């Protein structure tokens, strides 16, 4: 009998599998297909202070081994998330959920985080300082150690729940960014968000995305995720949530060996809505195949090899 439980910032998860923000909505559509309470938890759609329609279309483009998106943080705003989405979510999901927060100023990050942290349904705040698809927000806070520490400190003063900072891979030194989060008081970090990419329409001789550039996700970025999780987790003592191109139970174990305590699944949910269900169901057999009795025991195991 294998043990799939892990501890994420003081909260026990039945397994380390977490659908990533922006790929699982608020869980309703997936709950019609299977019991989403089998998940470790999930990170709901990124929330800002005001409602956002997002970027103009087209904002999705396919590519080899992945996809580009420039959705632009479309969401109903924090008021409606609290008054409408969370009460509905409570009816279908019995576990603490991860609230993903984005913003255009330190004050907005702090305000939205404080309000969501006060909600009983929320277990963690995932602070998105790494969105590459919003001009003037998101990634502008996550590309320098000074700015990421500043926003982390400001939010940490306002929230009662564990704070996990979501980092961008579009930097030169991910270890320093991770350390800046830890120094700012973060309880954990998550990475990687999407890599900057672009496609061109050969017939129109113009960018495929209206936003011109977008975030690359999918299997193509998995090796980058493994490398950055390994480097970031080696630089800090706080838990790391790994993500980026995860498509199988084997990928989950690989990221955990690199140093991840839990693992988010993103683009795979858009390809197959049962992706997380399949990964969770496959996990025990894959653990047995590799002689793993407890997932807690393998976290960062590749550093001992």
Q: Could you read off the pLDDT of 139-195 as tens digits, one per residue? A: 567 678 999 999 999 999 999 999 999 999 989 999 999 999 999 999 999 999 999
Range of the domain at 151: 16-238
Mean pLDDT of the chain: 94
Which CA distances in Å does 233 have to 7, 124, 176? 16, 19, 11
Q: What Rg do the C-alpha atoms of the chain give, in angstroms?
A: 18
Please give the pLDDT value at position 256.
98
Domain contains 98: yes
Pair of tokens at residue 170: 């579009």
Give the number of domains in the chain: 1
The 10 Å CB-count burial string (b at 16+, else e) for 28-37 is eebeeeeebe
| Residue of 9, 63, 119, 131 with catalytic role | 131
Tell me: pLDDT of 138 over 50.
Answer: no
Tell me: pLDDT of 45 over 70.
Answer: yes
Domain contains 205: yes
Alpha carbon 78 to chain centroid, angstroms: 18
Q: Could you read off the pLDDT of 238-261 as tens digits, one per residue? A: 999 999 999 999 999 999 999 999
**Residues 6+ positions from 146 with CB-CB distance below 8 Å:** 180
Domain contains 169: yes
Q: What is the mean pLDDT of residues 1-8?
A: 97
**CATH at residue 148:** 3.20.20.70
Confidence of residue 305 (pLDDT cuts 50, 70, 90): low
Tell me: pLDDT of 18 over 80.
Answer: yes
Tell me: pLDDT of 132 over 80.
Answer: no
Q: pTM value?
A: 0.95
Domain contains 261: no
Domain contains 186: yes
Q: How many CA atoms lie within 13 A of 11 on its CB side?
A: 20
Report the distance separating Cα 293 and Cα 4, nearest Å. Answer: 8
Pair of tokens at residue 203: 């017939």
Q: Quick check: is 131 catalytic? A: yes
For the CA atoms of 48, 52, 58, 61, what is the dihedral angle to 10 degrees? 10
Domain contains 304: no
Domain contains 59: yes
Helical axes 222-235 vs 174-183, angle rounded to 10°: 50
């Amino acid at each position: 009998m294998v043990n799939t439980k892990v501890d994420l910032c003081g909260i026990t998860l039945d397994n380390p599998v977490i659908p990533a923000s922006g790929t699982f909505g608020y869980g309703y559509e997936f709950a019609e297909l299977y019991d989403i309470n089998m998940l470790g938890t999930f990170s709901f759609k990124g929330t800002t202070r005001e409602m956002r329609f997002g970027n103009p279309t087209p904002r999705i483009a396919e590519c080899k081994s992945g996809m580009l998106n420039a959705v632009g943080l479309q969401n109903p705003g924090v008021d409606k998330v609290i008054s409408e989405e969370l009460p509905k979510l409570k009816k279908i999901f019995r576990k603490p959920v991860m609230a993903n927060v984005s913003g255009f100023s330190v004050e907005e990050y702090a305000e939205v985080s404080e309000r969501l942290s006060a909600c009983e349904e929320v277990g963690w705040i995932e602070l998105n300082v790494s969105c590459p698809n919003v001009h003037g927000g998101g990634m502008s806070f996550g590309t320098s150690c000074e700015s990421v520490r500043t926003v982390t400190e400001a939010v940490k003063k306002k929230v009662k729940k564990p704070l996990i900072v979501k980092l961008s891979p579009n930097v030169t030194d991910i270890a320093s960014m991770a350390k800046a989060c830890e120094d700012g008081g973060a309880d954990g970090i998550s990475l990687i968000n999407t890599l900057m990419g672009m496609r061109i329409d050969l017939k129109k001789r113009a960018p495929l995305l209206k936003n011109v550039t977008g975030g690359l996700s999918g299997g193509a970025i998995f090796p980058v995720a493994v490398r950055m999780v390994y480097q970031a987790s080696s630089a800090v003592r706080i838990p790391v949530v790994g993500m980026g191109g995860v498509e199988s139970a084997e990928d989950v174990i690989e990221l955990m060996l690199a140093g991840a305590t839990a693992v988010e699944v993103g683009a795979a949910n858009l390809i197959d809505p049962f992706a997380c269900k399949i990964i969770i169901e496959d996990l025990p057999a894959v653990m047995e195949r590799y002689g793993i009795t407890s997932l807690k025991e393998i976290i960062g195991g590749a550093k001992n090899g």
